[in-house]
Structure 1
């Protein structure tokens, strides 16, 4: 799942809204907290300069 998510995010990284949508979807699909943390670290490394607000918001736990 992690590798597939990386491929998708790279492909949609040209569009901030699409990037946000796919990142949120990937986080919902992942059940392993270690895998989610790896994704967060990878996203910050790859896209942190372009989309830091989107990444931080996506990985912040939502209150219901």
Structure 2
């Protein structure tokens, strides 16, 4: 079951990726909903997904500064 939440989170992030503000909100929501090992998977996916999207990478760095060690 938790795997479904992880997959849903990825699809939601992909869907809102055109808006950095919405992406940031969905990412913050994911931090509160996912288990620690799922966050590790999400972090790896985010590095891959935001490779050519610098505006989204900024959202990730902001999240890391808000939640040290979470993402």
TM-score (norm 1): 0.82
Comparing 39-48 with 8-17, greater Cα deviation is found at 39-48
Unmatched 5+ stretches in structure 2: none
Q: Conserved in 2, the CA contact under 8 Å of 1:9 and 1:19?
A: yes
Q: Distance in 2 between matches of 1:20 and 1:35?
A: 18
**How many residue pairs were aligned?**
61
**Which of the numbers 39, 42, 46 marks the counterpart of 1:43?**
46
Q: Distance in 1 between matches of 2:51 and 2:32?
A: 20
Matches within 5 A, 1:1-64: 1-30=5-34, 32-50=35-53, 51-60=56-65, 61=67
TM-score (norm 2): 0.75
What secondary structure sits across from 1:14 in the alignment? coil
Runs of 4+ in 1 over 2 A off after TM superposition: none
RMSD: 1.4
